[in-house]
Amino acid sequence: MRDIKIVIAGPRGRMGREAVRLVQQTDNFHLVAVVDHKNDGGSLSDFDGFSGLDIPVYSNIEECFQKVEADVLIVLTTPEFGMLHTKTALSYGVRPVVGTTGFTKENVNELEAICKEKGLGCIIAPNFAIGAVLMMKFAQLAGKYFNDVEIIELHHDEKLDAPSGTAVKTAEMIAEVREAKQQGHLNEKETIAGARGADFDGMRIHSVRLPGLIAHQQVMFGATGQTLTIRHDSYNRASFMSGVKLAVDTVMKIDTLIYGLENIIE
Ligand SMILES: NC(=O)c1ccc[n+]([C@@H]2O[C@H](COP(=O)([O-])OP(=O)(O)OC[C@H]3O[C@@H](n4cnc5c(N)ncnc54)[C@H](O)[C@@H]3O)[C@@H](O)[C@H]2O)c1
Ligand SMILES: O=C(O)C1=N[C@H](C(=O)O)CCC1
């Protein structure tokens, strides 16, 4: 198996810490630098919980790629910086694996065009958990037969974006097969704004934020006399790591952008 030199953006975050552990535990993955807005020029080992990891820290991602040779950038920062980091990686010939959510359709299209022009791979995965990817695929299958669907996504209360990337991706996948329909009563009125959730092609998305939660989603379908509920729960962030590993391995073999792990799992 070939060696893969990896930079992680956002190593001190909830996902970043798991990703550092994954890279450390994988024989052919090598952490060559991290991008963090603190401790520029220092070492990852200066931060709590990373003792013994003498890995250079850069705050400026351009400088990172000028000084360090890398194959893959794992992007696990906030939605605000995700796009900048991803575009910068591509401009240096480094393949991004993007876990950060909150990218717009325009963002994805722009990155797709850059990848095409440069012949570089990039994977954007709104959810790395294999169970969540299956939940989205099952929901897409159900969307062929049920036009009425409500997506309820539930996350921890530190999450910045709503709806979640997973909910948006699920709605996009269902929209590919679902007969368009405006749901609910034609004359329905919200007496409190937002009561019916976000509207995606007539489907409704509801975002729950509570301490104690990690990442969960329920897709509910309704038809005469029946409902169907498809649900996935991530109980910890280790649940995302087999998907991150698959994405890093795969991004080295492709020369286009892939949006969603459902496009690479067998
Ligand atoms: N794709 C998935 O499966 C998946 C799973 C969980 C979370 N996420 C997404 O990943 C992202 C991170 O989630 P999290 O829970 O780890 O968040 P977090 O807030 O714990 O971590 C974000 C990290 O980014 C760092 N950061 C912010 N600005 C930065 C900058 N300019 N340069 C470098 N680092 C910077 C912060 O210091 C923080 O450590 C979110 O967008 C979240 O939605 C995706
Ligand atoms: O914790 C988060 O934040 C998560 N975000 C992703 C999303 O927006 O779908 C995936 C699950 C965890």
Per-residue pLDDT of 29-59, as tens digits, reads: 999 999 999 999 999 999 999 999 999 999 9
Does 156 reside within a domain? Answer: yes
What is the residue-averaged pLDDT of the chain?
A: 97
118 and 40 housed in the same domain: yes
CATH of residue 205's domain is 3.30.360.10
Give yes or no for residue 7 having a pLDDT over 90: yes
Give yes or no for residue 1 having a pLDDT over 90: no
Q: What is the ipTM of this complex?
A: 0.98
Who's near 10: CB < 8 A, 6+ residues apart?
16, 35, 36, 75, 76, 77, 78, 100
Q: 0.90 cut: is pTM over it?
A: yes
CATH of residue 72's domain is 3.40.50.720
101 and 7 housed in the same domain: yes
Which ligand is in closest contact with the Cα of 260? 1
Query: Ligand 2 pocket, 102 CB below 6 A?
Result: no
Side chain identity, residue 166: T
Percent of the chain scored above 70 by pLDDT? Answer: 100
- Burial (CB count <10 Å: 0-12, 13-18, 19+), residue 3: exposed
Does 36 reside within a domain? Answer: yes
Length of the chain: 266
| Rg value, the chain, Cα | 20
Confidence of residue 80 (pLDDT cuts 50, 70, 90): confident
Collapsing DSSP states into helix, strand and coil, what is residue 68?
coil
242 and 113 housed in the same domain: yes
- Among candidate residues 256, 213, 262, the one with its CA nearest the CA of residue 14: 213
Give yes or no for residue 227 having a pLDDT over 90: yes
Does 115 reside within a domain? Answer: yes
Task: Please check whether residue 131 is in contact with residue 232, taking contact to mean a CB–CB distance below 8 angstroms.
Answer: yes
Query: Ligand 1 pocket, 16 CB below 6 A?
Result: yes
Does 137 reside within a domain? Answer: yes
87 and 65 housed in the same domain: yes
Give the residue numbers spanning the domain of 34: 2-123+236-261
Mutate to test the pocket of ligand 2, among 77, 157, 164 (most ligand atoms within 8 A of CB): 164
10 and 119 housed in the same domain: yes
119 and 25 housed in the same domain: yes
Does 266 reside within a domain? Answer: no
> What is the number of structural domains in the chain?
2
Which ligand is in closest contact with the Cα of 136? 2
85 and 140 housed in the same domain: no
Does 42 reside within a domain? Answer: yes
98 and 6 housed in the same domain: yes
Give yes or no for residue 109 having a pLDDT over 80: yes
Q: Is 99 annotated as a binding residue?
A: yes
22 and 148 housed in the same domain: no
165 and 78 housed in the same domain: no
Rounded to the nearest angstrom, the distance between the alpha carbon of 147 and the centre of ligand 1 is 34
Q: Are strands 4-9 and 226-234 parallel, antiparallel or unpaired?
A: unpaired
220 and 254 housed in the same domain: no
Mutate to test the pocket of ligand 2, among 124, 151, 159 (most ligand atoms within 8 A of CB): 159
Query: Ligand 1 pocket, 10 CB below 6 A?
Result: yes
Does 101 reside within a domain? Answer: yes
Tens of pLDDT, residues 143-200 = 999 999 999 999 999 999 999 999 999 999 999 999 988 899 999 999 999 999 999 9
Does 200 reside within a domain? Answer: yes
15 and 115 housed in the same domain: yes
pLDDT value at residue 79: 82
Q: Is 229 annotated as a binding residue?
A: no
